[in-house]
Amino acid sequence: MEQINSEKIDVKSLTLEELKQEFAAIGEKAFRAGQVYDWMHVKLAESFEQMSNLSKIQRENFSNRYTYTVLQTVAVQESQIDGTRKFLFALADGNVVESVWMKYKHGNSVCISSQVGCRMGCRFCASTLDGLERNLTPSEMLEQIYSIIRITGERVSNVVVMGTGEPMDNFDNLLRFIKLLTDENGLNISQRNLTVSTCGLVPKMRELADRKLQITLALSLHATTDEKRRELMPIANKYSIKELMEVCQYYFEKTGRRITFEYSLVAGVNDTDEDAMQLSALAKPLCCHVNLIPVNPIKERDYVQPDSKQAQAFKNKLEKNRINVTIRREMGRDIDGACGQLRHKTIQGLPMETGRK
């Protein structure tokens, strides 16, 4: 596990078992570990100071001994259209990450970042414009959710790892994050309510399949030929669509979980009849769901969305081929919707409108 501060243990990234061992090593009683774990992951305490059933000396001792990850809220934007809120959080080292809170009828959903920046270089994505700064620790991933729960005062039922970063490029921390998030002694989010999205790092997808988790794996496909995919996503130079389809099949066999294909529709680039046909052919043999996302234009690139009629026509073509398909409802259009735009604007020193909290 990566630690920001190598001398101190990042206590919120430890499993309950590890915390028990750690406490045993420093002469604390085992039940203390349960208490502290509960304060961190259920009561969502913001410091040891708040842990009122610990003695003052213990609180001080723990505060000195451990890194206790919390995030500072730098900006909040709220959509006037649908209430979606976008948060910009500062980490202890001053880096910033963004997270999104979405309200749906079936429950609230949080979209988190897995890295500070990204090195995958997808052409249409704002998250990668400034490159990769560093991986997020498990506690920093968790804290995005915990902070949002504290701020909104509402429960979260779904988590999607679809913010900035490539989760498979931060694999060990991602696995630990999943373990902590879905732990019955913690927030206890069901694995089935967690989606991890990847641009397609095949060996890591295979490794994830072998873990046999019940999470949803989403593959950012975005093109139906290797040639076209390479134009949009540098990672396509490393792994072919054939390899991707094989590993998706493997994931389904190992976990029984339906894969999601994400497909950003870019006008004139990947929205032709032929694309619809080829996408159907790829989706057909797999147990999968296709999620069409009209590309969110970023000013650094000149990609444009197909109009809604065109997008609907593309969807209809897939449906005719009996593919399970949806067009993603756009949330927070008015608040720098596209991945990584808010962070990019902030670190470039560009003006941003901060909505009401």
Q: Tell whether residue 122 is a contact of ligand SAH (CB under 6 A).
A: yes
b/e per residue 69-100 (b: at least 16 CB within 10 A): bbbeebbbbbbeebebbbbbbebeeebbbbbb
Determine which residue in the list 36, 71, 100, 125 makes contact with ligand SAH, applying CB under 6 A: 125
Residue whose token pair is 């998250």: 127
Residue 339 in the binding site for ligand SAH (CB under 6 A): yes
Least spacing, CB of residue 33 vs ligand SAH, in Å: 34
- Binding segment (CB under 6 A) for ligand SAH, from list 10-18, 45-53, 98-106, 195-203: 195-203
Q: How many residues bind ligand SAH (CB under 6 A)?
A: 17
CA distance 294 to 282: 20
Per CB under 6 A, the list member of 10, 133, 143, 262 interacting with ligand SAH is 262
339 assigned to active site? yes
Residues 94 and 103: beta-carbon distance below 8 Å: no
Q: Tell me the residue type at 17.
A: E
Q: Examine residue 198 and tell whether it contacts ligand SAH (CB under 6 A).
A: yes
Is the Cβ of residue 125 or residue 282 nearer to ligand SAH in the bound state?
Answer: 125
Give the containing element (helix H, strand E) for 216: strand 216-220
Q: Please, which residue, 28 or 98, has the CB nearer to ligand SAH?
A: 98
Say which residues have a Cβ less than 8 Å from residue 236's Cβ, sequence separation at least 6.
200, 223, 226, 229, 230
Q: Could you say whether residue 78 binds ligand SAH (CB under 6 A)?
A: no
Name the H helices within the chain. Answer: 16-25, 30-41, 56-65, 138-152, 171-181, 202-211, 226-232, 241-255, 273-283, 308-320, 341-347
Considering the complex, what minimum distance in angstroms separates the CB of residue 345 from ligand SAH? Answer: 14
Range in contact with ligand SAH (rule: CB under 6 A) among 36-44, 53-61, 80-88, 120-128: 120-128
In angstroms and rounded to an integer, the radius of gyration of the C-alpha atoms of the chain is 21
Q: Could you tell me the CA-to-CA distances from 262 to 145, 218, 325 in Å, in that order?
A: 23, 7, 10
Tokens matching residue 333 = 């259009």
Q: Which stretch binds ligand SAH (CB under 6 A): 3-11, 136-144, 196-204, 245-253?
A: 196-204
Looking at beta carbons only, is 77 or 220 nearer to ligand SAH? 220
CA separation for the pair 20, 23 (Å, rounded): 5
**Rule CB under 6 A: which of 87-116 touch ligand SAH?**
none
The reply to whether 98 belongs to the active site is yes
Of 28, 78, 98, 140, the catalytic one is 98
Return the range that interacts with ligand SAH (CB under 6 A); candidates 39-47, 141-149, 194-202, 252-260: 194-202
Question: How many whole angstroms separate alpha carbon 261 and alpha carbon 255?
Answer: 17
Nearer to ligand SAH, 132 or 276 (CB): 132
Binding site for ligand SAH (CB under 6 A): 122, 124-125, 162, 166, 197-199, 220, 262, 264, 293, 295-296, 298, 338-339
Q: Which residues are catalytic?
A: 98, 339
